[in-house]
Amino acid sequence: MANKSHFNSGHMAINQLKKNGALHSSTITGIASPHTVHGVFIQDAVDFLKALPNSSVQLILIDPPYNLDLDNWDSFHNYLDWAKGWLDQICRVLSDSGNCVIFGGFQYQDLKKGDLLEVLHYTRHETALRFVNLVIWYYKNGMSAHRFFANRHEEAVWLSKTKKYYFDLDSVRVPFDEATKEMYKKDKRLNPESIDKGKNPTNVWEIGRLNGNSTERVGHLTQKPVELIRRFVKALSFEGSIVLDFFAGSGTTGRVCIEERRHSLLVDSDNKLYGYLDKHIRQIKSNLFLPEYSLMKDTNIDTVLEEIALVNQQLPQNSIVKDYRNE
Ligand SMILES: C[S@@+](CC[C@H](N)C(=O)[O-])C[C@H]1O[C@@H](n2cnc3c(N)ncnc32)[C@H](O)[C@@H]1O
């Protein structure tokens, strides 16, 4: 029996209406339901991926282990042999406009470690994935070093399944400050609308790392900052689409998906994910803004996908996907 924790009355009402053969008011009045579904799976990533249907996911966002011996989940005999197991599934499960973001670094000096360079080399030569961008996550707070330049960045590669990948740049533009805005508005060559929209954030993003005492911390050793994940989720997926993180860790991706109204599939081999995710959700609640959502735990992927399809059916057709494609 699936453990489905509903945190809202809206979704229960939808199910009741469905049972009675009635329509939800959003279908009738054309008001989009903000409800999202989040499947949480304690499972091996590759086993999970094998059970996932073709073309079912809009965005894969992962922060994999790299053999750094950080914990017992971070140790492999041959890194790439292991990584091939999940890298080979990505293209198949992505939709045609789908994107994939893989976090990592190039700075690991020990050959036993895996790194993003190896992952990128493999995807380029052995899979049909296309390379779109390398994003540099730059932070000012980091470790000191004496034998080399202290590291202040991590990388994330953005890959796509086809040339028609989804990309909503407007959703992540950075506003100009008022003085710059005024100055640009006096320049007749510039379009005032573009100035109001803000600027392209570029592929170097300055976002602080989480310190040990950061209020955002939920206890996972390698937790990523919410704002870093949010920018990818907003730009590379759309409301009502499915985002998959099969190395979910603390569930940062799930938290952002609740906030940004995407459905999510969260997978981790460690069941501490449940507790971490609860803490993330308590943080959203303390911000006084919690969109309607439901968590589905201890169930199978088909049940979760059926639930997502049911929820999306309640949305007016034209509200589900403003599917911009980069043509
Ligand atoms: C780097 S952490 C992800 C942290 C996450 N980005 C966050 O913000 O909390 C990698 C995660 O992968 C999980 N993991 C390792 N091997 C796995 C496997 N074979 N299948 C599923 N999860 C795995 C670990 O338990 C760990 O939580």
Q: pLDDT of 20-35, one tens digit each? A: 444 333 333 333 446 9
CA 172 to ligand 1 center in whole angstroms = 27
Q: What is the pLDDT of residues 286-319, one digit of tens each?
A: 876 778 999 999 899 999 999 999 999 887 665 5
Q: What is the pTM of this model?
A: 0.88
CA 151 to ligand 1 center in whole angstroms = 23
Please, what is the average pLDDT of the chain? Answer: 86
CA 204 to ligand 1 center in whole angstroms = 25
- The answer to whether residue 112 scores a pLDDT higher than 80 is no
Mutate to test the pocket of ligand 1, among 75, 269, 274, 277 (most ligand atoms within 8 A of CB): 269
* pLDDT value of residue 34: 64
Which fold would CATH assign to domain 3-9+35-166+203-320? Rossmann fold (3.40.50)
Question: Atom 27 (ligand 1): residue with closest C-alpha?
Answer: 249
- The answer to whether residue 325 scores a pLDDT higher than 60 is no
Q: Which of 285 and 320 is assigned the larger pLDDT? A: 285
* pLDDT value of residue 70: 61
- The answer to whether residue 159 scores a pLDDT higher than 60 is yes
- The answer to whether residue 7 scores a pLDDT higher than 80 is no
- The answer to whether residue 240 scores a pLDDT higher than 60 is yes
Going by pLDDT thresholds of 50, 70 and 90, the confidence category of residue 109 is low
Q: Which of 138 and 23 is assigned the larger pLDDT? A: 138
- Is there a contact between 256 and 240 (Cβ–Cβ < 8 Å)? no
Q: What is the pLDDT of residues 185-236, one digit of tens each?
A: 999 999 888 899 999 999 999 999 999 899 999 999 999 999 999 999 999 9
Q: What is the pLDDT of residues 265-294, one digit of tens each?
A: 999 999 999 999 999 999 998 876 778 999
Question: Among the atoms of ligand 1, which is closest to the Cα of residue 252?
Answer: 8
Q: Which two tokens stand for residue 22?
A: 């009635």
Going by pLDDT thresholds of 50, 70 and 90, the confidence category of residue 66 is confident
- The answer to whether residue 105 scores a pLDDT higher than 50 is yes
Pocket around ligand 1 at a 6 A CB cut-off? 44-45, 63, 65, 73, 220, 222-224, 247, 249-250, 252, 267-270
Q: Which of 272 and 3 is assigned the larger pLDDT? A: 272
Long-range contacts of 276-283 (CB under 8 A, 24+ apart): 276/218, 276/219, 276/220, 276/223, 276/249, 276/250, 276/251, 277/40, 277/250, 277/251, 279/218, 279/219, 279/250, 280/218, 280/250, 280/251, 280/252, 280/254, 280/255, 281/255, 283/215, 283/216, 283/218, 283/255
Q: Which of 141, 140, 77 is nearest to 112 (CA)?
A: 77
- The answer to whether residue 2 scores a pLDDT higher than 80 is no
**d(Cα 296, Cα 270) in Å, to the nearest integer?**
17
Q: Which two tokens stand for residue 36?
A: 């999202």
**d(Cα 100, Cα 275) in Å, to the nearest integer?**
26
CA 257 to ligand 1 center in whole angstroms = 18
Q: How far is the first Cα of the chain from the last one, in angstroms, to the nearest whole number?
A: 44
* pLDDT value of residue 75: 63
- The answer to whether residue 101 scores a pLDDT higher than 80 is yes
Q: Which of 83 and 114 is assigned the larger pLDDT? A: 83
Q: Which of 288, 326, 309 is nearest to 39 (CA)?
A: 309
Going by pLDDT thresholds of 50, 70 and 90, the confidence category of residue 69 is low
Question: Among the atoms of ligand 1, which is closest to the Cα of residue 253?
Answer: 8
CA 305 to ligand 1 center in whole angstroms = 22
CA 63 to ligand 1 center in whole angstroms = 7
- The answer to whether residue 16 scores a pLDDT higher than 70 is no
* pLDDT value of residue 5: 53
Question: Atom 4 (ligand 1): residue with closest C-alpha?
Answer: 249
Share of the chain above pLDDT 70, in %: 80
Q: Which two tokens stand for residue 296?
A: 């589905």
